[in-house]
Structure 1
C-alpha cells in the first residue's frame, strides 16, 4: 500500500507558503486585520499537523477524508491570498492615493466574507484532526520505529544476470587501471535498474578478488545507523565489536585495514547530511603505495559526488535493450528462447516486455507473475491489457530482487522534499515517452507558484535547480542538452516513473485520471495536458483548473460557448503553436483576459496572431508572457507595459514587429527580456535603449537591431547599470548602416556578463568592448552569421588580461581569419569549441568547413555543471 503522500506534496507546501505570505504582506492585515490574524494562527497550528499527518497510511480513512477537505480549503485560501497580492501590486504600480473605488470596496467586502468562511472551515478541520489524531499517531509512531531499511548482500544468482557485461567491464577497467590509495566509484541510477547487481558482480569477480586483501559489503539505506555500519564492517573483518564505543570501533577498523588493500561497497546510500560518511571516511587508511577502492551505489548522483566520487568515475547502468529484456524475461517467466512456445504467446510476451521500458525490476516482477499463471495467449493478453494496474498493485515479498516495482520507485518519491514532490507530479499529465520542453516546464512551475524565488535567486533559477535535483535523483531523464555545459533543453520520465506519478497524482487530486490511468478532464481537474482526445465539455462546473497546456495537439476547437470558456481559475495557460483556424480570435482573447489569476501565458509560434489586444492589461498577475516566433505579430498594446508582476517577456524572432512600445522602463520586475527592438529617431512611440537603465533586475537581455534603429550617444553607457545581467545577445539583423555599427562598437555592457551572443553583425572587426578586461566574467562567446574579418585588436588583451572563456561558438563567419594557436594563447581555459562553416579559420582542431566540435578533455564530454542558472535555447535557436 502506498503511503499517504497527499499532504506532503501539496498541502504542506501550500500551508508553509501561505503562512509566509501572510506574515510578509502586512498591507493585507491593514485591510482585513482580524481575518488575516486568525488565518495566520490557524496555519501555524496546521503546519505541524500536515507534516505529521503525511506519515499516516491511506488505510486511515477518516484521516484521509479530513485531509482531502483540508487540501481544498488550503487551495481556496491560496487563491484568496494571490488575489490580494495581485491587487496590491497593481495599486503600487499605479501609485494611486485616491479613495478606494466602488469596485475596490466590493473586492474588500467579498474578501472579508471569504476569509471568515475559510477560517471557520480550517478551524473545524483542525478540531476534527485533534479528536482522533493522537491515538492514531501513537500507533503509527510504533510502526514507524521499525527498521525499514532495504537490506542487501553480496550473494546473487549469476544465472539471472542479463545486460550488465559492458557495465561491469567499465568498472573493472577503472579499478585495474587505478594507482591511488583510495579510488571512489559511484554507480547511480533509477530504482530497479541493477545498481546493486552490478556492484555484486564486481565484488564477486575472481580477478579482482586477488587484488584486494579485505572486502566489505555494507547495506546502508535509510535511516542511516552509523554504529550498525561499523559493527558490520568489524564483523566482516572477523573482529569482535563488543565493548567498543563509536570512536573505538572506527579506530579498530583503521587498524585492521592498515597496510592492506581493501574493497568496500556501500550499497543504497541516500544521504550523508548528518556527517556519518565524513567521520567514517576520515578513519579509513589511505596508505601510499596501496590500491584501495570504495564503490557507492545510490539513486542520487549528487550524493556520490559529495562522497568524493569524481564526475569521470560516476557510472549509470543503461536500460536493457529489446533483446536483453526478452532474455531476462524468459529466464524469470520460465520461457524458452528457442521458439518452443506458440508464436502468439511469444508475441504477447514481447508486448508485455516492451511496456517495461528496459527496467530490470519491472521485467522480473511481471515475469514472476506470468510464471505463476497459465501460459496461454488469452491469459497473457488479459494481463497485458491491465499491465500498469498490475505493476502498481503487485506486492513483492520484500526480499532482495523480489520487491514491488512501484514500492521500489516510491522510495525515491518519499525521500523528496515536499516542493520537489509537487514538481515531479507535473510529469503525470504528459503522454507516454513525451519529450518535454524545459522552458515550458519551469515556467509552469513558476506560474503556478510551485517554485519561488528567494533571496538573490530568481524563480527561474530556483525551478532549474529543482529540475537539476530531479535529474540527479534519476527520476527525470535528459533527452537533449547543450554540449557546452549540459544545460537541459528537453527531458522526459521513464514509463514506470510516469505510472507512479499518475497513481499519486490521482490519489492526491493533483490532476484527474481514470481508473485505467488515462488523463481526463472533469469538474475536479486541477491540471490538464491537452491531447487530441481531450474533451472540454466534461469541464462543466469546473472552478479548480489551475494549469492547461497543449501537449500532442495544436487544436483546441475553442469558441465562447464551450465549457473551457467558462473556466476562470487558470494560472498557467500554454497554447504554444496553437492553430487559430476556425477559432474566433476575439473570443479567445476575451476568455484569456478574463483569467484574473493568470501568471504564465505562452503563445509562442502561433501563426496568424497579428496583434495583442489592449485588454491584456487586465492580467495584473501575469509574470511570464511568451510571444516569441509569432511571425505575423505586428503590434503590441501599451497596456503590456503596465503589468506590475511581469518578470519574463519574450517577443524574440517576431520579424513583423517593428518595435516595442515606449515605456518598458515601467516593468521594474523584468528579469528576462527577449526581442527588445530599438526604434528609429522618427518614431515617437517606440522603445529606446535608454529605457533599460532602470531595469536593474535583468538577468537576460536580447537586443534586436533593425534598419530603423537609432542609439543616442547618451544611451551608450546604459547597459553598465545592469549589474545582475548574465546573458547578453545582440542581433544586428543584417543591418549594414555604418552609423549604427559605430554606436554598437561604443556600447558599455556590465562586467557581470557570463554569456555573449553576437549575431548578424556586419562590422569588419568585433566591437572593441569585447575584450577580457571589460567583460572579465565571460564564460561563453558565440559569433554567428557575421561579416567579421578579424577579431578587434582589444580582443587579444595583454599579458595581464586573458580570457576566462570556457566555450566558443563560431557559425557562418566565412571571412573570419584566426589561427587556433593565437586563440588558445588568449583563451587558456577553453575546453569546448563549436564551428560551422568558417572556412578561413587556420589550424583548428576540428572541421571548420561543415560542422565541427572539439573538447579539451574527452572524459568531461557533455558533462553538465552541478547548477545551471539559465536556459538559453530561445537565444541559441532564434
Structure 2
C-alpha cells in the first residue's frame, strides 16, 4: 500500500515545473518543444496511474519493479528540467544575446539525447503497464480495494484505563462550567494516544450522567458517509429513518433534539472539506438553557477548529509518564504491579516500556505480544532487542483494541496531501529523540523542491506552513517555540512516527536503511543524515544523492580521495558548524563548487572559515546561502553577485566582514538578506544603502552599521521602495557618530513592516519614523541593548493614531524610563511583553530588573499567525 505514494508526489511537482517552463516559452523549453511536450504528456498519464497503483493491494508485487524503474526515470527527468532552468536563469541574468558557445551547443545536444532517451523509457513503461493493468477493476475506489477504516463504540473496559485522570478532570470542568447552548470540545493527538478512550470516560462519567438527557456516539468513517452519520444519530434517538432523504433525516434530528440536553461524540474525524459538517451541524439545535455539548476527536487540530472548537477548548492528552506507562503495561501483560515476578523480568519489562515513549497504543501492543511468548527474562530480552522491528511488523486488523501502532499511524500518513508526504519522510534521517532545527528542515524542503513559492507566499513561508500542518496533524512535536506568536524554532517526532517514516522511506527509496532500521549510506542513497558512524566509502558509484546534512556530528573527515568527493548530484548540503581541522579547505571548496544542482548550502558557524572562493559563482542553481556566525570570515567574492536564483543570503553576525561587495542590486530575487553592511566613503568596492532600492522582493532585511558605514542624503528614502518588506532589523553597532545617528533617524521604512528590531542604538530617543502613523502594520517591536532615555515624541501618536502592536520586547535598555500606563494608552491591543534588565521602567506587570514575561491572555500564546511567519531565529539570536 505504500509503494507509489511518494512517486506520485514527485511526478505531480515535476509536471507543474514542465508546464510552467512551456507556458513561459523559456529558452530551453523552446529548444526542445516536442521533447518537453511529450515528457509532460507522459508524466501526466503516469501520475494518474501511480495515484491508482499506490492504493492497490492485490497488484502490489506485480507493479513493484515497474514503479521502482519509473521512480528512477522521473528523478532523471527532474534533474534534466532543473539543469535547463538553472541555465535559463543564468543567461537571463547575464542578458547575453551572443551566439551559443561550444559548451552551450554541447549542452543542448546532450540534453536532446537525454530527453529522447527518457521519453522512450517512460513510453515503454506505460505500454508494459497497460498490458496488464485494468483501470476499472483495479480502480482504488473499487469496493474490493477500499481500506477497512477503524471504527469505535462507546463500550470499553474501565479497569484498563491508566493515566487519563487529569485529562478527564479538565474536560469535566469545562462541561460543568458551561454557560452556553452548545459547547464544542476538541480532543486531538497522535494516533494511539487515547483520544477515543478519553471521550468514552466523559460519556460514562457519573458526574455528567444526569446533565445530558441524550448521549450519542458516532464513529466517523473515512471517507465520510454523511447519510450513515445521520442514521447513527437517529438510531441513538430510537428513530428509524432509513428510507428518508437527507433533508428529512436532518429535520427529524432537529425535532428530536430541540427540547433536550444532548452530548454528541464524533470520533475520529479526518476532514470536513466536502461540507458535511456544515450541513449536519444545522440539525443540532442550540436551545437556550439546555447546555448541550459536542466532543470531536481527531488527529488534526485544524479540523476541530474548523468545526467551531475554540482554541481554549482544544485538549491534547499527554503521553504517559514512567509510572503510568508501567501500570498500563502490567495490566496488559498480566504482570504484578508490585514486582512479584523475578527482578530480571521486571528490568526487561521496564526497558521495553521505556522504548514506547509513553504512547498508550504502543504499550498495549507490545504488552499483548508478550502474552504470546514465554514469560522469561531471556524471551523478553530478545523482544526488547528487536523492539522496533517487532512493533513495525505487527499487523492490526483495524478494529479498536487490536490495532497495531504502525497500522494506526499509517492512517495519518495515508491522509496526507502529496506535498506533505515528502516532508514527513525527511524526519527519517534523524536519530531518535533528535531536536531538529526548523530552518534546516524548511531550507532542505526548499532546496529539493518539496515546497515552492507562490504568488501569495515565498518558499520559506510555504515550508513553514507545511511544518505547521504536520504539527496540527500531531505527527510532529514542537520542542521550542517563539514566545510571542508560537513560531516553531525546533521540533522532533515521536519514536513510533519515526519508525513509520523509516518503513515508508525504505520502501520508497527516499533514503537507505539496513534491515534493523539503521540509516546508512550506499550507492543508492538519495538522502543522508551524517552521524559519527557514517562512512562515505560505501557511497562508491552513487549518482543519486540529493541531500546531505550533518545531524549529530560536526566532523566529516573530508579529503579529495573519499567517495563523497565523487558525488556530484547534491541539491542540499548542510555543513553547519563543521570542524575544518584536518580538512584541506581548498579540496572541500573544489568539491562544493562542482555541485551544479546545489540549491541550499549551509556553512553557518564554521569556526575556521576565512574566505569564500571566487568559484562559488559557478553554483548557478544556488537559492539559499547561509554563512552567518562565521566569526573569522573576512571577505566575500564578487562572484556571489552572479548567482541568478539566490533568494536567501545570510552573512549575519560575521564581525570581520566590513561590507558586502558592490553590485548586490543584481540579486533581484532576494527575499531574505541578513547582515547587510553599509560601506564607508573610502571603500569604492563596497555595497551602499542605495543598492537596496532594486531588491523589491525583499521580505526580511537585517542591516548592520559599523564604524565605517556612511549613508548619503539621497539614500534616506530607499527603504520606501521595499513594499514587500515585513521584517526589518537595524543593528546600529553601538555607533556614537552623531552623523550616522541623524541619518538613521531620517530613514523611511515602508508601512508594510510587521516586525521591527532596533539594536545597539545610542540615540537618546527612538527614531522619529518609529510612530504609529508610519508603521501602521507593525505587530511586534523589539528595542535591545540601547541607550534610549525615552520614546520619541512621534512614538506616542495622537487620539487618531494608535499602535496596532501586539508584542513588545525591551532588553538591556537601562536608561529607558516609561510607565506601563503610558504604553497601554498608545498600544491598546498589546498582549505580550518580554523585559530584560530595564530597571527604569515604571509599574510594569512583570519583572523588569531580571527577566520578565507577561501575557494578556495565556491562551493566546500560540497565535494562528504562526503559519504565515517567516523564520526569525537568525534575527533574534544575532
The TM-score bracket by the shorter chain reads over 0.9
For structure 1, which segment, 241-250 or 438-447, has the greater mean C-alpha deviation from structure 2 after superposition? 241-250
Asked whether the 8 Å contact 2:704–2:731 carries over to 1, the reply is: yes
Tell me what 1:556 maps to: 556
1:105 positional shift: 0.6
Task: Say whether the 8 Å CA contact 1:392–1:499 is kept in structure 2.
Answer: yes
2:567 paired residue number? 567
Match of 1:385 in 2: 385
**Aligned residues of 1:18 and 1:78 also touching (Cα < 8 A):** no
1:482 offset after TM fit, Å? 0.4
Deviation at 1:136, TM superposition (A): 8.4
Alpha-carbon deviation of 1:273? 0.6
Aligned to 2:340: 340
1:522 aligned onto 2:516? no
8 Å CA contact 2:3–2:507 kept in 1: the answer is: no
Distance 1:62 1:782 in 2: 61
Partner residue in 1 for 2:873 = 873
Q: How does 1:438-517 map to 2 (within 5 A)?
A: 438-517=438-517
Task: Please list, as runs of the form range in 1=range in 2, the aligned pairs for 1:15-34 lying within 5 A after superposition.
Answer: 15-34=15-34
Partner residue, 1:435 = 435
Using the alignment, how far apart are the partners of 1:785 and 1:648 within structure 2? 27
Query: In the alignment, is the contact (CA less than 8 A) between 2:56 and 2:145 conserved in 1?
Result: no
- The whole-number CA distance in structure 1 between the counterparts of 2:58 and 2:844 is 63
The 8 Å contact of residues 4 and 56 in structure 1, kept in 2 or not, is answered as no
Residues 803 and 827 of structure 1 are in contact (CA less than 8 Å); yes or no, is this contact kept in structure 2?
yes
8 A contact 1:3–1:56 mirrored in 2: no
Per-residue CA deviations over 1:569-590 (Å, capped at 9, x if unaligned) read 0000000000000000000000
Deviates more, 1:480-489 or 1:35-44: 35-44
Shift in Å, 1:48: 1.7
Per the TM alignment, residue 247 of structure 1 is displaced from its structure 2 partner at its CA by 0.4
Q: Distance in 1 between matches of 2:271 and 2:397?
A: 26
Query: How far off is 1:207 after superposition?
Result: 1.2
Structure 1 CA distance for aligned equivalents of residues 40 and 324 of structure 2? 57
Whether the aligned pair in 2 keeps the contact of 1:19 and 1:43 (CA below 8 Å) is no
Per-residue deviation at 1:16?
4.5
Task: State which drifts further: 271-280 or 60-69.
Answer: 60-69
For structure 2, list consecutive stretches of 5 or more residues without a partner in the other structure.
Answer: none
Q: Is the 8 A contact 1:487 1:864 kept in 2?
A: no
Per-residue Cα deviation, 1:348-401 (whole angstroms, up to 9, x for no partner): 111111111110001000000001110111111111111111111111243212
Task: Determine if the alignment matches structure 1 residue 410 to structure 2 residue 410.
Answer: yes
Match of 1:656 in 2: 656
- The question of whether the paired residues in 1 share the 8 Å contact of 2:665 and 2:691 is answered with yes
Report the TM-score when normalising by structure 2: 0.98
Q: CA deviation at 1:3?
A: 6.4
**Superposition pairs of residues 80-479 of structure 1, within 5 angstroms:** 80-134=80-134, 137-138=137-138, 141-144=141-144, 146=146, 148-479=148-479
Structure 1 residue 40 displacement after superposition: 2.1
Which residue is 1:835 aligned to?
835
CA–CA separation in structure 2 for the residues paired with 1:355 and 1:104:
57
Q: C-alpha separation between the residues in 2 aligned to 1:112 and 1:174?
A: 67
- Assess if the C-alpha contact under 8 Å between 1:6 and 1:507 holds in 2: no
Residue number in structure 1 paired with 2:803: 803
Partners of 2:140 and 2:481 lie apart in 1 by 44
Aligned to 1:722: 722
* 1:457 Cα deviation from its structure 2 partner: 1.2
| Structure 1 position 290, deviation (Å) | 1.7
In 2, the alpha carbon distance for the partners of 1:242 and 1:90 equals 66
Q: Is the 8 A contact 2:181 2:289 kept in 1?
A: yes
Q: Distance in 2 between matches of 1:285 and 1:840?
A: 56
Q: Secondary structure at the match of 2:740?
A: helix
Say if 1:223 and 1:141 are closer, same or farther in 2 by CA, change over 3 A.
Answer: closer
For 2:6 and 2:803, the matched residues in 1 are separated by 51
2:6–2:422 contact (8 Å) kept in structure 1:
no
Tell me the SS of whatever aligns to 1:134.
coil
Q: Is 1:782 equivalent to 2:809 in the alignment?
A: no
Q: Secondary structure at the match of 2:223?
A: coil
TM-score, scaled relative to structure 1: 0.98
Residue aligned with 1:283, SS: coil
Any idea what the Cα deviations from partners look like across 1:113-155, whole Å, max 9, x if unmatched?
1111101101001111111111785376534565723210111
Q: State the distance in 2 between where 1:163 and 1:290 align.
A: 31
Q: What is the CA distance between 1:57 and its match in structure 2?
A: 2.6
Tell me: CA distance 1:23–1:54, structure 2 relative to 1, closer, same or farther (3 Å): farther
CA displacement, residues 599-621 of structure 1 (integer Å, 9 cap, x when unaligned):
00000000110110000000000
Does the 8 Å contact 1:15/1:74 carry over to 2?
A: no
**Pairwise CA distance, 1:60:** 2.4
Give a deviation string over 1:204-231, Cα, whole Å, max 9, x none.
Answer: 1111010011111100030101111011
SS at match of 2:282: helix
Structure 1 distance, partners of 2:380, 2:33, is 64
Shift of 1:874: 0.4
Aligned mates of 2:248, 2:404 — CA distance in 1: 40
Q: Residue 687 of structure 2 aligns with which residue?
A: 687
Q: Give matches, 1:28-43, under 5 Å.
A: 28-43=28-43
- 1:750-796 per-residue CA deviation (whole Å, 9 max, x = no partner) reads 00000000000000000000000001000000000000000000000
After superposition, give the CA deviation of every residue in 1:597-647 in whole Å (9 maximum; x if it has no partner).
000000000011011000000000000000000000000000001100000
In 2, the alpha carbon distance for the partners of 1:147 and 1:227 equals 19
Rounded Cα–Cα distance in structure 1 between residues aligned with 2:866 and 2:607: 38
Distance 1:456 1:859, change over 3 A: closer
Alignment partners' CA distance in 2, 1:641 and 1:744 = 27
CA distance in 2, matches of 1:794, 1:23: 50
CA shift, 1:868, in A, is: 2.9
Deviation at 1:844, TM superposition (A): 0.2
1:512 and 1:470 map into 2 onto residues whose CA distance is: 23
C-alpha displacement at 1:15, in angstroms? 4.3
Work out whether residues 2 and 507 of structure 2, in 8 Å CA contact, stay in contact via their aligned partners in 1.
no
**Contact map agreement 1:432 1:495 (CA 8 A) in 2:** yes
- Which has the higher mean CA deviation after the structures are superposed, 395-404 or 449-458? 395-404
Q: What is the root-mean-square deviation in Å for CA atoms of aligned residues?
A: 1.3
Q: In the alignment, what sits opposite 1:747?
A: 747
Shift of residue 43, structure 1, vs aligned partner? 1.9
CA distance in 2, matches of 1:737, 1:873: 29
For residues 203 and 15 of structure 2, the distance between their equivalents in structure 1, rounded to whole angstroms, comes to: 47
Q: Matched residue of 1:110: which SS? A: helix
1:596 corresponds to which residue? 596
CA contact under 8 A between 1:12 and 1:50: conserved in structure 2? Answer: no
Q: Residue 146 and residue 716 in structure 1: after superposition, are their counterparts in 2 closer, same or farther (change >3 A)? A: closer
Change (3 A) 1:756 1:144: farther
What corresponds to 2:617 in structure 1?
617
* Aligned counterparts of 2:643 and 2:8: Cα–Cα separation in 1: 34
Contact 1:698 1:725 in 2 (8 A): yes
- Structure 1 equivalent of residue 607 of structure 2: 607
